[in-house]
Homo-oligomer: A and B are copies of this chain.
Amino acid sequence: LHEILSISSFSVDSLNLQKQIDELSSFSDSPAPSVTRILYSENDVLARRFIKNLMAHAGLSVREDAVGNIFGRWKGSEPDLSVVSTGSHIDAIPYSGKYDGNLGRRITNQSANDALTGYGFKPKRSLEVIMFTSEEPTRYGISCLGSRLLAGSVSLAGALKQTVDNHNISFLDAAKSAGYAKNEDFSNVFLDDRIYSAFVELHIEQGPILENEGCMLFYSFTLPFFTLHIYKCQFTLSLEGVSIGIVTAIAAPASIKVEFGGSGGHAGAVLMPQRNDAGLAAAELALAVEKHVLESRSIDTVGTVGILELHPGAINSIPSKSHVEIDTRDIDEKRRNNVIEKIHESAVEISKRRGVEVLEFKIVNQDPPACSDDSIIKAMESATQVLNLSYKKMISRAYHDSLFMARKAPMGMIFIPCYKAPEDIANGVKVLALTLANLSNVNVSSQAAFSS
């Protein structure tokens, strides 16, 4: 391996890669440059066909499961050994950019294979690229739907039979319209523990906005009154002049839905002492989330109120109900759960003091964190060193399908910095390619294809 990779001509066709990204981005419900691709929509089905064609063209054998996870396998010389996998999603939240999922993963995984094939590489362990269904929660409110199911979530397999979208279209009907869910049984999606020996995901680092740092727009949202540009690439890696991030852990996310019910009434007629304002209860809870997170005194604890809705939502109506959605994460599960407990105590205290009811306090998900596997971290480091790229070990504070795949296979993630040039992507693809090649060789008794 080392020998071959020292040859500088080991390369990724970044122009072709860009062309594929651009072509994929054309399957969108919103005009370019934004991308909107909703699970099981017409454009999602077209994009899936495009991906399957790319896979077939590359000589991979293609399989789909009952929710539309798509698997493309490059059969290794030892096809009975557990498989080395990588993966990505192609669904896109409304008005997102074309680089979420697509860039970091789907096509580049393909390119990683192409790069290796172009080099005459033949894997020992089979290599598999997975397109996960519905990493985004846009349509059914469930993030990483495909990978959660692959990881064996019995509760999700059951819940999907009752799940409907905002237009009251059931998950089952939608999946069937896209050609999936034929026998309505999702438990056959569950992965066997012995299938994969490794899962590696390549992703763009996401993070704070830093204006004028040359970071490109990552997602943009067009809203009724103004256009927002949120979610730009994180600058950490680029600022530090580092090419690659090697993820050692994925922070543990939890989300909570809270509903307060108070008394409505006319904003003029109901005097202040008679009020039980559900909106002010929500405002207090949002500030309590911030307070409890800061009281943890750990930089790794974060908490966000991204959704706060008032009903009926009229200027002259006292809010009779309010709806709050809270996201809190930490790399320490116990510390995060302690924050959740304090948020719950605050909700109860606020409701008593204001004479409103806590109609709902629902912990929607409370996932444990995941650590990258040491052997995969080593494989990624070694690939980076061989390619003469600088790297930094880091925590992924956003979560990804990798969080769930970690339950079924030793996991690792490669971050690339803010996209500035096709080379940045190409570097990530090269690290992924060599990591996969390396891993396809691990614990294989016969002669390695590449010797390192």
Contacts and interface: CB of A to CB of B under 8 A. Distances in A.
A270 B221 contact: no
Contacts of A293: 272
16 contacts: A208-B265, A223-B311, A231-B264, A234-B269, A266-B397, A267-B304, A268-B398, A269-B397, A271-B302, A272-B303, A283-B287, A283-B305, A306-B314, A306-B316, A307-B314, A308-B308
Most buried by B among A93, A306, A398: A306
Contacts of A207: 265-266, 269-270
A279 B286 contact: yes
A384 interface: no
Contacts of A159: none
A304 B206 CA distance: 38
Given A283-B308, A308-B279, A268 B226 contact: no
A363 to B, nearest CB: 13
Nearest to A221: B312
B264 A321 contact: no
Given A231-B265, A266-B398, A398-B266, A271 B299 contact: yes
B327 A306 contact: no
A167 to B, nearest CB: 11
A279 B310 CA distance: 13
B267 A223 contact: no
Contacts of A398: 266, 268-269, 316
B231 A329 contact: no
